[in-house]
Amino acid sequence: MKSIKAWKPGQLSDLAKIVRGSSPRPAGDPKYFNGSHLPWVTVAEVTKDKGMYLRSTASSLTKDGSAKTRILNAGTLLLTNSGATLGVPKILMIRAGANDGIAAFLNLNADREFLYYFLQSRTRYMRERVAPGVGQPNLNTELIGLVPLAIPPRDEQIRIAKVLSTWDEALEKLDALIQAKEQRKKALMQQLLTGKKRLKGFDGEWVKTPLFELIDEQPRATKKPATQFLSAGLKSHGKGVFLKPNFNPADIALKELYQIREGDLVVNITFAWEGALAIVPNHADGALTSHRFLTFTTRRDCAHMPYLGHVIKTSRFVFDCGLASPGGAGRNRVLSKKEFLKISINLPPLPEQKAVANLLDSCDEELHILRKQRAAIDHQKRGLMQRLLTGKVRVKV
């Protein structure tokens, strides 16, 4: 019977020489940057995509810039070591220069894909052990080298990486499918919400209609509760309502709040210009907001609220909200209710509004299911990764 080889205790410095990239100075100098001599790896390049490999870069160095950076060979394992995205690994597949926000693992004495997954599993650990200093988070190469790990035999490292890569392949396929569905929905919105494309069986006239003819303000003032309550806010960029359960009334000085109900159109007057508008979902029914949120209901004989829910996410509508929001300090630009209600939308007859909303809602539901599937697979992969990379579960080799 084949004996099971034990894993050896160690640390990252046992498996590689860990060095830091270097950036030509001064930053942005045209003598060094925006050339065509050598691809240039930055933290942004490493973190912009979810995959294991970095195959190209958007930036390049000049010949002079290449002489002032650390040049890395294809196959080098990288790790971001500074900024909010500290601790993200990537395998470089091209010869390139790297800036000083990147750590590189040289003379690697381990399977690089195995070590990639190990680093991926330890991102939080490394972020919690950030080197002290002023400014953005920073993890020096010495501290990276001290990260402990159990080192399996090389053949088991390769097998572990292979197992985990099958999960990544499934995630990549789902990501591609989700992206394709998102693009399809975006195209449908552009066509169906403008009348460029009509659903079969509909040919009624579209009418440019101001909001004041479609919706009515419906404030529901209520005394601030004496005990904890459900508070609501709005995400920007059309991303919907977020909730704060068990909100402490002592945390808000206002004595009067406003209740939102399922199906309301709610607008954050401070960030409407950034797309902070939403239709209230059923799980937010009865939540309380401040006076900075306007609440509207539709006139049901001429407007279908789910249809308006898609209209308010279009770039044209958000742009119009920006025009209705005079400038202010920083990002705070307060929406004029009067100007908001003057915004006009191109509106089809009510039956067509409902049909269009149903189709776009079905697209949203399909995307919701796919995203849930992705989250479940990612959760399962992370659980398996934790067990495989600690030896709690062994693989056959």
For the stretch 197-246, pLDDT in tens is: 999 999 889 999 999 999 999 999 999 999 999 999 999 999 999 999 99
Shared-domain flag, residues 137 and 257: no
Shared-domain flag, residues 13 and 128: yes
Shared-domain flag, residues 111 and 232: no
Shared-domain flag, residues 144 and 225: no
- Amino acid in position 50: K
Residue 314 lies inside a defined structural domain of this protein: yes
Residue 176 lies inside a defined structural domain of this protein: no
Shared-domain flag, residues 223 and 121: no
pLDDT of residue 1: 39
Shared-domain flag, residues 14 and 145: yes
Residues 222 and 257 sit within 8 Å (Cβ to Cβ): yes
Domain count, the chain: 2
Residue 86 lies inside a defined structural domain of this protein: yes
Residue 295 lies inside a defined structural domain of this protein: yes
The per-type count for the chain, helices as H runs and strands as E runs, is: 10, 22
Residue 300 lies inside a defined structural domain of this protein: yes
Shared-domain flag, residues 270 and 145: no
Nearest to 277 by CA among 321, 339, 334, 332: 321
- Amino acid in position 286: G
| Overall pTM surpassing 0.85 (yes/no) | no
List, for the chain, all residue ranges whose pLDDT scores fall below the cut of 50: 1
Structure tokens at 112: 């690089």
Structure tokens at 317: 């509508």
**Residue 231, domain extent:** 207-347
Structure tokens at 214: 């479609």
Shared-domain flag, residues 109 and 211: no
Residue 180 lies inside a defined structural domain of this protein: no
pLDDT of residue 327: 76
Residue 169 lies inside a defined structural domain of this protein: no
Shared-domain flag, residues 124 and 224: no
Q: Looking only at Cα atoms, what is the longest distance across the chain?
A: 82
**204: helix, strand or coil:** coil
Neighbours of 255 (CB within 10 A): 8
Shared-domain flag, residues 21 and 92: yes
Shared-domain flag, residues 83 and 213: no
Single residue among 347, 366, 385 that ends a domain in this structure: 347
Residue 185 lies inside a defined structural domain of this protein: no
Nearest to 188 by CA among 313, 78, 76, 27: 313
> Whole-angstrom Cα distance, residue 241 to residue 246?
16
Distance (Å) of CA 37 to CA 58, 74, 102: 13, 16, 20
Can you give the CATH number for the domain in which 237 is found? 3.90.220.20
Shared-domain flag, residues 24 and 143: yes
Single residue among 122, 151, 180 that ends a domain in this structure: 151
